[in-house]
Amino acid sequence: MRALDPTKATTERDTASYLGSVDDLSSGSGIDELDKSHCVLVFCTLHYFEKKNSLRELFRSVVQRQAILAMLEPDPTQEGGLRQADVEALITNEALDKFKLRAMFDDWARSNGVLHADAFDYAPDENEVRASLFEQDPIEWNRLPQFQDVTIRLIVEKGVLRGKAGSLYMQRELAASSFALHSPRARRKHHLFCSQFNAGAWELAEDVGKSSAFTPKSVALKVTSDATELSACEHMLLLLDKRTWTSGADTAHLVDHIHQAMRIGVPIVCVHEGPSVVGPERYDCDFNRMFDDDWTPAHLTRSPTNLYKEIAVSLKSVEWRAPGLAAIAHKLVSSTGPRKPIKFKVPSSYEANIAEPNPWKTAGGGEHVSGAEANELWVPSQSFHPLAECSVSLGRASCQRASCQRSSVGERASGLSSQSPAVGHKGSLAGAALPNRLRSILFPPVRTGDSEEERASNTRLEA
């Protein structure tokens, strides 16, 4: 962490935000910069809570009753993967006393003028440190640029401005983009096909249709789960999560729908439910799991039927979900050209597990028909009919958005690396530039150890 413009911090609490790794601070301990900060950003990793200086900064911030914003690292390979409860478990009286932090309070209290007037008058314990660290909901660090924008905006919104300016936006932020959805092309009736055997796909389509990812004048998103209508659909939505390839007979039925879409030439929009450490529990998973031997059927990872030849849209949770929904919307409005049917034979090595029950349903995680019912009516290939046929139109949510600059996803991608987005709101701060230094400090280039999906998405968000 670093102090932002510490040379300009001439009065108490002048520094806008403190991001503390003491390595670069001229004062060594960083206490002076910390005490002048309006907000302290704590990057919560396993390593952070093992370092004396890091815990001293956190404890000092709590004692001084400063605003603290916790940022969580979702990647376990980067000392992360910790949710709020995991971080709280690392903050104990034993850990504080290991580095004699509560004993330091006596020295601070005896030094006149060291503590703020509203500081604690006693040494806080583990519960008070936890409460201070998570007084605001934590935010999540992300490497993919469309999610980085959300994180940067929330640092400014919740941390630097502490919510006093209301909701902000960033120019060219994907989450603030909207696209015009038109009626399906001639001889097509639906925008989207969602297999009833792809758990969560229908609910995701509802979220897209009700979001603000489409312009107010767009037509309602038309979705069907009727496989006999697949040829009348412009796209098929495929949600990739823990359940997709591990649902027994339901997975076999889903694979048959995928085969049908490929033979007809219906484009398949793959959406990956990515790992997150904020928000409610989901069926998220690491994208690399898709290539496990017992997950995606082998022939669906190779040409000509490779599902992953195009980068899957990544989904996150809570505030970070909006850019994923916008990316799906952009896919739906920008890839409605002539169809390209794929001719192929399913290899003899592929075996459909039509007799295997869906373990997610027996565990209470299923939303659709039971595996037993599906087995009774299982008819392979082109003659397959779904058990429940449904077609609906999903209207755009009637919500008002702050007036802001719009741009295409292509413009957003091409301008990301060359210039810093601006941050604005409905007031005097509209158009104020977010410092390049803050972006470069918080979000360095993707390391070589990142997944192929992350490196590709950082290079270019496919338009």
* Tens-place pLDDT, residues 252-276: 999 999 999 999 999 999 999 999 9
Distance (Å, whole) CA 377 – CA 359: 19
Query: Strand 190-194 relative to strand 233-240: parallel, antiparallel, unpaired?
Result: parallel
Q: Provide the 3-class DSSP secondary structure of residue 59.
A: helix
Among 314, 309, 311, which Cα is nearest to 325's?
314
Range 361-370 average pLDDT:
50
More confident residue, 117 or 89: 89
What integer pLDDT is reported at residue 220 of this predicted model? Answer: 94
Q: Name residue 15's amino acid.
A: T
The residue-averaged pLDDT of 105-118 equals 83
pLDDT at 440: 52
CA angle 153–154–157, rounded 5-degree value: 90
Q: Identify the pLDDT of residue 168.
A: 81
Q: Which long-range contacts (CB under 8 A, 24 or more apart) does 91-98 make?
A: 91/49, 91/126, 91/129, 91/130, 91/133, 92/126, 93/125, 93/126, 95/49, 95/55, 95/126, 96/55, 96/59, 96/125, 96/126, 96/129
Write down the pLDDT at residue 278. Answer: 94
Q: Encoding tokens for residue 15? A: 């520094």
The pLDDT score that the predictor gives to residue 274 is 93
Q: What's the average model confidence in pLDDT over 335-348?
A: 89
DSSP state of 296: S
Q: Which residue has the higher pLDDT, 441 or 391?
A: 391
pLDDT at 413 over 60: no
Confidence of residue 394 (pLDDT cuts 50, 70, 90): confident
The predicted pLDDT at position 264 comes to: 95
> What are the beta bridge partners of residue 270?
238
Q: Name the pLDDT band for 29 (thresholds 50, 70, 90).
A: low
Q: Report residue 362's pLDDT band, with 50, 70 and 90 as the boundaries.
A: low
Whether the model pTM is above 0.95: no
* Weakest mean pLDDT among 97-111, 245-259, 397-411: 397-411
What is the strand order of the sheet 169-170 is part of?
169-170, 422-424, 432-433
Q: Around 220, how many Cα atoms within 13 Å sit in the side-chain half-sphere?
A: 12
Q: What is the pLDDT of residue 148?
A: 92
Q: Which residue has the higher pLDDT, 115 or 390?
A: 115
103 falls in which pLDDT band (50, 70, 90)? confident
Confidence of residue 324 (pLDDT cuts 50, 70, 90): very high
User: pLDDT, tens digit, for every residue of 273-320?
Assistant: 999 999 999 999 999 999 988 899 999 999 999 999 999 999 999 999
In the chain, the percentage of residues whose pLDDT exceeds 90 is 52
* Whether pLDDT at 193 is above 90: yes
Check residue 355 and give its pLDDT.
81
Query: Would you list the DSSP string of 342-353?
Result: ------TT----
- Who has greater pLDDT, 342 or 411? 342
pLDDT for res 181: 94
pLDDT exceeds cutoff 60 at 245: yes
- 13-24 pLDDT, tens digit each: 444 444 444 344
Domain residue limits, the chain:
6-171+409-445, 179-394
Please tell me the distance from the alpha carbon of residue 459 to that of residue 60, in angstroms, as a whole number: 40
Flag the least confident range among 19-33, 74-88, 151-165, 402-416.
402-416
pLDDT band at 390 (very low <50, low <70, confident <90, very high): low
Tell which wins on pLDDT, 50 or 30: 50
pLDDT at 446 over 70: no
Average pLDDT over residues 326-354: 90
- Going by pLDDT thresholds of 50, 70 and 90, the confidence category of residue 395 is low
Q: Is the pLDDT confidence value at 69 over 90?
A: yes
Who contacts 281 (Cβ-Cβ below 8 Å, separation ≥6)? none
Q: At residue 93, does pLDDT exceed 80?
A: yes
Distance CA 17, CA 156 (A): 9
